[in-house]
Structure 1
Amino acid sequence: MYVIKERFFDLGDDFDVVDDHGRKVLHVDGKVLSLRDRLVIEDPSGHEVASVWRKLVSLRPTYRIEIGGEEAAEVTKKLFTPFRDKFTIDVPGPDDLEMSGNLFDHEFTVERGGREVAAVSKRWLSIRDSYAVNIAEGENHLLILCAVLALELALQREKGDRD
């Protein structure tokens, strides 16, 4: 399980992602005031391992994830989804992921082929303004954490907090 601060832009552009023992596993360097809402994700020793940024030319909110300098996925919000927010995590090849749930309350699941591979919840934690990301064994933890960060970028832009 990982812990991410909710609404991390309110606290500044940089923050850490920690495991359930409080150990820093990732550092996120936010370039949120940039045109593309870019996040650089670093390992604990400061080496860049991934990045997330908003694509400018897209009809729907779309964020690109690179891991190790290679395109790993695009996170795109579905346009019409009554009562639930839904995003597609389009990865190269046939194993796309779907995220759905109540994203404003940070209660959602990530599924592949109808099987839950991750869950995000504020209810699991007593830490204020944080939420937990619980990822199934064998899944790409970095990819899913980057997708959650892309969701947060999309939600902040949608709410107009930084416009």
Structure 2
Amino acid sequence: MNALPEREAVGTLLRHVLDLLDGDVAKVYAELGLTDYRPRHSPVVRALLADGPMPIRDLARRVGVTHSAASQTVAQMHRAGLVDLSPGADARQRVVSLTAQARDLLPVIEAEWAATSAAMRELDAELSMPLSDLLTEIAGALRRRPFRERIADAGLTVPETTGG
């Protein structure tokens, strides 16, 4: 087993935890025969099921990721045959919808969602507070006062950059 990153290497530790969680979910998908399905697809599928077809920009907002991240995920899902793309209201817009192939996979995907949610509740019971609560609290604190400001307040002076 790999050693844990140093406690002070918080970004590395967060990525390590995400790799542990997503890695095992990806293994479950593979064991279920969902070889082209990734953990990052689930929020997109859930949003499209709840709200129907939508432009990538709206999907990004709904899922809580950047437009670029949503575009990359949608492109990956399109290559896997899980979503269709159609022109939107203007030439720049692409509307995303689930394919029949994705809808056929829903019973397996929904069973995995339910099992993953139950596993997360079990993990949360072992923690001092639920992981999602802690992450939400962290995100709120960083929105109120960005980490960059906290670094500067700790005494690191960074020279101003000029556009060039």
- TM over 0.5, yes or no? no
Larger Rg belongs to:
2
> In proportion to residue count, which structure has more strand?
1
TM-score bracket, normalised by the shorter chain, equals: under 0.3
Normalised to the residue count of structure 2, the TM-score between the two structures is: 0.24
Normalised to the residue count of structure 1, the TM-score between the two structures is: 0.24
> In proportion to residue count, which structure has more helix?
2
